[in-house]
Amino acid sequence: MNLFAIVDDHGDIENAPIVRETVDAMVDVLRHPYKPRPEGENALPKALQESVAFSSFYMSNWLILTVGSFWVRALKIATPSSVKHFIPAYADYLESNVVQAKHRDDDVLFQSVGDYLHLQRENIGARPAFFPCQMHLNIPDEALYHPIVVELKYLTCDMIAIDNVSLHS
Q: Distance between CA 23 and CA 95 in Å, rounded?
A: 7
Of 12, 7, 149, give the one whose Cα is nearest residue 157.
Answer: 149
Contacts of 106 (CB under 8 A, 6+ apart): none
Residue numbers of the chain with a pLDDT score lower than 50: 42-54
- Give 87-102 pLDDT, tens digit per residue: 999 999 999 999 999 9
Question: Which residues constitute the domain of residue 163?
Answer: 2-168
Entry field: residues in the chain: 169
pLDDT at 113: 82
pLDDT at 87: 93
pLDDT at 51: 35
pLDDT at 150: 92
C-beta of residue 41 within 8 angstroms of C-beta of residue 61 = yes
Q: How many structural domains does the chain have?
A: 1
Task: Give the predicted TM-score (pTM) of the model.
Answer: 0.82
